[in-house]
A and B are shown apart, each in its own frame.
Chain A
């Protein structure tokens, strides 16, 4: 078969590939992907260290928790809301879980530790969901409020301090790795943490939910036009409620993943990450007004932000400049798509050729 492939079919295949790429990636996603490639090439040329195996592994590992939070932000933003409490949910769930496991002297499987943190996250998410769905309050205000409440419980009621000695199961899981990548020139090595499997699992489940369930299409429908969603027969209140339950559950898992990877339990340092997560999701082409966005885009956005801070380190740029460049990236990245929208409105249809 391959022997007989003529030039015509080859260009046909090329066309199909281009069309396929254009079809797979929406415009914003394509731009982000190209920016990532450009950034990687630049840093590689300047430092020669970027494409080393251990650096790639480092980047993947540092994307794990942000990408999990990215899923949280994606689901909520697609439904037309905005959630700033998922890091607080994660902090409270993971801290409570670690504390309970320690005080009971738990020495079973890490699975139950995740299950517990996920359940706690789900309960906290349900609080958000109940207020938002049944009292019909604005999501930003509600989650700003619950973020404060959750952090208050964490720092006040639980009197949270850093826990350096985490339960054995969590410690072991944090140590486990899929493989070690060593850089032959520098001799540095990096571990690909097993936590990446949890991320992959969450991505697959979320993808399935959003793409292949009526519930998931309801999330998009509500984000597009909530009134029309009611008329189409979607159980809008229930979907809204369950969105925040699911987001709480994912946040709970993300929180414990963080504990495993750091091998200590720092109650407050996740806070503040939510805005960067939301920014990277929007950078990945997820519409801030709701109704559109993909997991691929979210991953691209997260990757770009992560690679950005990683490469600035490699180029020897001081860390406080990272905030500057990340901010710039967000403005330019989201600004370009906004400008295109304006431009497409201004363009006149051709009418003279009748």
Chain B
């Protein structure tokens, strides 16, 4: 490395790419540039993990200052490809060309020196440090400083924050910021490292629609500064809205790379999944004379007020609205996580008091939370244990001891019924993919005989194929006489899954809609506007 530092090689070409600060610091030789249009060219990348082929000769080309979308279902090899580009994983075969420099293997540092910055899904920010330190620290480390100059840290952070319109105070602690703000911190940090290609791994998963719009504005602005973006997503509307070109992977292989303008929604789903789905609406078959759940003038201070509606057995009722409209608080009040302070709840026509999750469960109400990863599962516990945990008290035999035979029978019944992909239900729940984890959460509730099941964002972060499967499961559950409430801000989902839609705004129910009488655009306008 030392020798490299002394001999600084200048690019022989006239139109040499701009030298980044790290390239200068590390004296990376800028070699012949074969094609100047691309910041990144990956060809024939292969990678296997313990005999499993994750990438089977994948190619990806990203032009300079291009917004490129990489899509594919979970497990298609997106993450592996990113890790190879950033030098975290070594490729088995293939070639990577960054800014005209060819590599058959690349280290994380070399990748950074070429201006490749990855913003991981977990954002990798330090929750305990201030915004300015989070932004500046990695460049301070990279430039091999020993002492911290807080003046310099502040200056660097101010500059980067201006570029992404960061609204948070630079002195506030990052742990107290919203996800969107944390993401802006992560982007700022990427920028000060002389980013020329920023890879964002599913950046919109935890954002509200308004926050997504802000993110897109930032991305467009970065593009105008000559920075290329690789946007990893499996959400169709986002791919359409932001990207110029897209690449779709399936099972570790390229399916297609094309201009986004030539893409339509049916093809997108087909490329992603290899399956064609019928576009369908759910027609409910409500049974019973009286509602299975009825809510009258329910209110919660600072949450929602005067909410009245009813759910019949066999219905799927969607509750939608912007973040902060009170939809989550309403769901939590129905399940006793928060205690409503006004109004009344009736189950099967009988008034019930719900002030704890235990009471809600006793009334036959189940709840699948928003963040399945932290709220719904015991991630380190076996899949099977997670499934039967809510009815463990019913699976006892002599002396109140747990009856192992009944437990394992129950487990295999649900694994089969919900098609949970696992070779062994004894493995920890965290080994499952997102969609399968979601199914385990469903199994957990359905194993108790529920009357009403409340799902909060049931397919958040789930890919199209699994989403479709989960919808089918929910529809078939409704047909067996369960009342289902789906809380979601995914409008296409609400429209195709629900038989009735309630819109919440500023803590009030502002309307009831029939999905077949309303388009997605109209629904969006109702959610936002007056």
Contacts and interface: CB of A to CB of B under 8 A. Distances in A.
Interface of A: 211-218, 220-221, 223-225, 227-229, 231-234, 287, 290-292, 348-352, 354
Contacts of B141: 214, 218, 232-234
Given A214-B141, A217-B133, A349-B302, A232 B124 contact: yes
Contacts of B146: 213-215
Contact of B148 (A214, A228, A233, A291): A214
Given A224-B126, A233-B141, 6 more contacts: A217-B129, A220-B129, A229-B126, A348-B301, A348-B303, A354-B506
Given A211-B148, A221-B137, A351 B506 contact: yes
Contact of A217 (B124, B137, B303): B137
Contact of B506 (A218, A221, A352): A352
Nearest 4 Cβ contacts at the A-B interface: A291-B128, A224-B128, A224-B126, A228-B124
Interface in B92-142: 120, 122, 124-129, 133, 137-138, 140-142
B329 A225 contact: no
Contact of B126 (A215, A225, A350): A225
30 contacts: A211-B148, A212-B147, A213-B147, A213-B148, A214-B145, A214-B148, A215-B146, A217-B129, A217-B137, A217-B148, A220-B128, A220-B129, A221-B129, A221-B137, A224-B128, A225-B127, A231-B120, A232-B137, A233-B138, A287-B128, A290-B128, A291-B128, A348-B329, A349-B302, A351-B303, A352-B302, A352-B305, A352-B506, A352-B507, A354-B324
A133 B326 CA distance: 47
A211 B149 CA distance: 10
Contact of A212 (B125, B148, B329): B148
Given A211-B148, A213-B146, A351 B324 contact: yes
Max chain A Cβ within 10 angstroms of own Cβ: one of B133, B141, B142, B506: B141
B138 to A, nearest CB: 4
Nearest to A354: B506
Nearest to B322: A354
Max chain A Cβ within 10 angstroms of own Cβ: one of B137, B301, B326: B137
Interface in B272-322: 300-303, 305
B430 to A, nearest CB: 15
Contacts of A291: 126-129
Contacts of A217: 129, 133, 137, 140, 148
Nearest to A218: B141
A232 B190 CA distance: 10
Contacts of B456: none
A163 B127 CA distance: 49
Contacts of B128: 220, 223-224, 287, 290-292
A91 B15 CA distance: 67
Contacts of B300: 348
B147 A214 contact: yes
B138 A232 contact: yes
B325 interface: yes
B420 to A, nearest CB: 28
A292 B176 CA distance: 14
A351 B133 CA distance: 31
A246 to B, nearest CB: 15
B126 to A, nearest CB: 4
A252 B140 CA distance: 32
Given A214-B148, A221-B137, A349 B125 contact: no
Contacts of B127: 224-225, 291
A210 to B, nearest CB: 10
A212 B128 CA distance: 17
A221 B126 contact: yes
Nearest to B186: A228
Contacts of A228: 122, 124-126
Interface in B222-278: none
Nearest to B173: A292
Contacts of B507: 351-352
A243 B152 CA distance: 26
A214 B140 contact: yes
A350 B303 CA distance: 8
Contacts of B129: 217, 220-221, 224, 291
Contacts of A287: 128
A123 B140 CA distance: 30
Nearest to A348: B302
Interface string B45-75: 0000000000000000000000000000000
B124 A225 contact: yes
Contact of A350 (B147, B150, B302): B302
A214 B129 CA distance: 13
A215 to B, nearest CB: 7
A227 B124 contact: yes
B324 A349 contact: yes
Nearest to B138: A232
A350 B301 CA distance: 9
B475 to A, nearest CB: 32
Max chain A Cβ within 10 angstroms of own Cβ: one of B126, B133, B303, B507: B126
B477 to A, nearest CB: 31
Nearest to A211: B148
Nearest to A216: B148
B474 to A, nearest CB: 28
Contacts of A231: 120, 124
A221 B300 CA distance: 39
Contacts of B506: 351-352, 354
A353 to B, nearest CB: 8
A287 to B, nearest CB: 8
B309 to A, nearest CB: 19
A12 B146 CA distance: 39
Contacts of A213: 146-148
A232 B192 CA distance: 13
A246 B146 CA distance: 17
